[in-house]
Structure 1
């Protein structure tokens, strides 16, 4: 799902607002962390949601 980063939280966590209006807490995927991809407030990102808890997810791509 596509979303916009609203806020930066401790431990590389982010508050992301999805296209449908929901707000989730997301962390950075391992490959993004390994390649030092920086995420700032306002960035457009792609988020994978966990099927077990729809309020948590993983940021897998930062749009340009």
Structure 2
């Protein structure tokens, strides 16, 4: 249903129908804008569900477990192969989004 919008000055007000605002559907939105996914290996567990991960290119990053992995009680142990999602803003920190079997 179109919204009614006032137009004109106070003496001669008229109502015009304005078009409905366009909403983005969740499937049209990108999953993560600018996130970099790279494979790595867990070196050591740290407190508060943090892990030191060595990436395939040799860099070491500090990573935490993603919410879905916490929700499904997926355990991560040293020497596990994982996929880490890095933010383009800070390439030394990441989120573990997948653990290989």
Aligned partner of residue 37 in structure 1, secondary structure: coil
Runs of 4+ residues deviating >6 angstroms: none
Distance in 1, matches of 2:82 and 2:55, equals 9
What 5-or-longer segments of structure 1 have no aligned partner?
A: none
Higher fraction of strand = 1
Per the normalisation by structure 2, the TM-score is 0.63
Distance in 2, matches of 1:27 and 1:53, equals 14
Q: 1:6 pairs with 43, 64, 67, which one?
A: 43
What 5-or-longer segments of structure 2 have no aligned partner?
A: 1-37
1:26 and 2:63 are equivalent in the alignment: yes
Q: Whose Rg is larger?
A: 2
Aligned match of 2:88: 51
Shift of 1:20: 0.2
Shift of 1:6: 0.1
Could you list the per-position Cα deviations for residues 2-61 of structure 1 after superposition, in whole angstroms to 9, with x for gaps in the alignment?
Answer: 000000000000000000000000000000000000000000000000111100000000
Cα RMSD (Å) of the superposition? 0.3
1:17 and 2:62 are equivalent in the alignment: no
